[in-house]
Amino acid sequence: MARRLVQLYVGLAFYGLSIALQVASALGNNPWDVLHQGLSRRFGLSIGAWIVITGALVMLVWIPLRQRPGIGTVSNAVLVGVFADLFLWLLPVPEAAAARWAYLVAAVLVGGFATGCYIGAGLGPGPRDGLMTGIAARGRHSLRVVRTGIELTVLAGGWLLGGTVGAGTVLYAVAIGPLTHVFLPALTIRPRTPATAPGPEPGAEPEPVGPAARAEPGRP
């Protein structure tokens, strides 16, 4: 369990770093962060605060979808926004085009690693991932169709609110899936299989079975 928790929180920290790098690059955010940035620009509060607020609101939608949150779900909802704000404060703002593109490429790579970490920990999906899987399960639609529909909706809403859409948005959409498939198998923590019972020692007589077996006390 300790390893799962460590991997979960490392993944969430790196996910916050990925968001901060992509926002700071100013080359286009992933769809949800287009929305978060748009809300921040229109109504105030930080991007990280809006990540936490929208995560909490999305989890309310889990109730009719009968989705069960795990410790990873709650941690994701609270900590990703905190880490995003922290790294936005720590990172220098890139001015040269080369530096901005370096931020963007790093954001996508780090995002793939972070996604593999927190999903591989097996402690519950993030609020937005659970929304997609819940709708897909209840509506009998493919996950890809549901994911595309939700992300296009939040992307359009975020763009109308003033969020940044650009090359980074496209790069993230194209690359994050394949990167997650690369990192996830290596980072998935599988449950331990119970040890197999030892066989009889060489030369030992096999235990009697059936009627010849010795009855346990209290049994006929």
Tokens standing for 210? 């059936």
The total number of structural domains in the chain stands at 1
203 domain residue, yes or no: no
Q: What is the pLDDT of residue 46?
A: 97
Q: Is residue 162 part of a domain?
A: yes
In a domain, 215, yes or no: no
Let me know if residue 123 belongs to a domain: yes
Q: Which of 69, 48, 208 has its CA nearest to residue 129?
A: 69
- The predicted model gives 57-77 an average pLDDT of 91
Average pLDDT across the chain, whole number? 87
Helix, strand, coil tally for the chain in percent (to 5): 70, 0, 30
Q: Is the dihedral of CA 96, 102, 107, 110 positive or negative?
A: negative
Distance CA 156, CA 58 (A): 17
- Pick the more confident residue, 124 or 32: 32
Distances (CA, A) of 15 to 8, 116, 118, 128: 10, 10, 9, 14
**What letter represents residue 122's amino acid?**
G
173-197 CB burial, b ≥16 within 10 A, e <16: beebeebbeebbeebeeeeeeeeee
Q: Which domain holds residue 128?
A: 2-187
Average confidence (pLDDT) over 169-190: 90
d(CA 133, CA 151): 13
> Is residue 144 situated within a structural domain?
yes
Global pTM value: 0.84
Give residue 9's pLDDT.
Answer: 96
Work out the average pLDDT over 51-76.
92
Q: How many CA atoms lie within 13 A of 112 on its CB side?
A: 20
Measured CA distances, 133 to 38, 66, 123 (Å): 25, 11, 15
- Considering the domain boundaries, does residue 85 fall inside one? yes
**Contact criterion met (CB below 8 Å) for 158 and 93:** no
- On the question of pLDDT at 175 being above 90, the answer is yes
pLDDT-above-70 percentage for the chain: 87
Domain assignment of residue 25, yes or no: yes
Let me know: does 29 contact 41? Beta carbons within 8 Å.
no
Residue 86 lies in a domain: yes
- In 3D space, the residue among 49, 45, 39 whose CA is nearest the CA of residue 16 turns out to be 49
